[in-house]
Amino acid sequence: MPELVALQHICGLLDRGEIDSAQFLELFTRRMAQDIGCSRAGVRMLIGARHGAALRSMAMHDTATDANVRVPDMTAADPSPYFNHLIRDGTVIAPDCRTHPATMPFLESYIEPLDVRSMLDVSFSVNGNLYGCFSCEQIGGTQAWTPHQVKLLRRMASRVSLALMNAITSNVDTAPGALWEPSTPNRLMTMPMPLDEDFGPT
């Protein structure tokens, strides 16, 4: 797949020190948005929150402006429907975020304020531990995610996870965050707490 060759090139630039972690995140999220064909694409990390867990964007590329944009955290009074779904299936495929059981908890904090209509998330894990997700969004109108898009995002996640972990941990405070435990037997490990950083123009 030419998309994966391009992705490997970006990972190689990071490994050789030719780009820094912020540049890597910007290049990767731009590539993800282009290859999947969506309004925005980004990387989200698990963070500790009042209700146990939330998702914070480390980088989000917007195709309309061709730039990285800042977006709010995805928080919910009860985020377990989303995390249970992500852990069980490795994906959250929501052609309509406003009616999908996994994404509905984030209506108030994220989906409605940003007019996100469709979302495709693939889990981001290293050594079996969930750290966050790769997220593709459609703004202003819904998108029926195709099997090809889901398969490609899964392959991108598999190819880039280790390089991405190295990039992210160079930009986070590694002090332990709060634990969030879904139903047995699934369990999330303590996650690093990202700093509130901007990775590009707004």
Tell me, what DSSP letter sits at residue 74? B
Q: How confident is the model at residue 191 (pLDDT cuts 50, 70, 90)?
A: very low
94-106 per-position pLDDT tens digit: 999 999 999 999 9
Cβ-Cβ contacts under 8 Å for 2 (sequence gap 6 or more):
none
In a domain, 25, yes or no: yes
User: Is 192 contained in some domain?
Assistant: no
CATH assignment at residue 144? 3.30.450.40
Q: Does some domain include residue 179? A: no
Residue 69 lies in a domain: yes
| C-beta of residue 25 within 8 angstroms of C-beta of residue 172 | no
For the segment 133-166, what is each residue's pLDDT rounded down to a tens digit?
Answer: 999 999 999 999 999 999 999 999 888 888 877 7
Residue 183 placed within a domain: no
Q: pTM here?
A: 0.81
186 in a structural domain? no
How many independent structural domains does the chain possess?
1
Range of the domain at 83: 2-173
Residue 37 lies in a domain: yes
Closest by CA to 113, choosing from 98, 123, 102, is 98
For residue 195, being part of any structural domain is answered with: no
